[in-house]
Amino acid sequence: MNSADQYQPSRWWRNRHLQTIWPLLTKPRRRPPLTRQRIELDDGDFIDLDWLWRPKPEQPILLILHGLEGSADSHYIRRLLLDCHTEGRAAVVMHQRSCSGEPNRLPRSYHSGETQDLGTVLATLSQAHPGHEIHAVGYSLGGNVLTKYLGEQGPDSLIHRAAVVSAPLDLARCAEAMSQGFARVYQNHLVSRLKQKTAAKLAGPGLGDLPLAAGELEKLNTFYHFDDAVTAPLHGFAGAEDYYQRASGKGFLANITVPTLLLHALDDPFMTHDVVPPVEQISPSVQLELCDYGGHVGFIEGGWPWAPRFYLERRLLHHFR
Neighbours of 109 (CB within 10 A): 21
140 belongs to the catalytic site: yes
DSSP line for 285-302: TEEEEEES--TTTT-EEE
268 belongs to the catalytic site: yes
Is-contact 32 82, C-beta < 8 A? yes
Pick the catalytic residue: 111, 132, 296, 319?
Answer: 296
18 φ/ψ angles, rounded to the nearest 5 degrees: -65, -45
Distance CA 32, CA 46 (A): 23
Distance CA 39, CA 306 (A): 38
Pick the catalytic residue: 117, 227, 228, 268?
Answer: 268
Pick the catalytic residue: 140, 157, 166, 248?
Answer: 140
Candidates 24, 275, 246; CA nearest to 238 is: 246
Sign of CA dihedral 170, 172, 176, 182: positive
User: Which residues are annotated as catalytic?
Assistant: 140, 268, 296
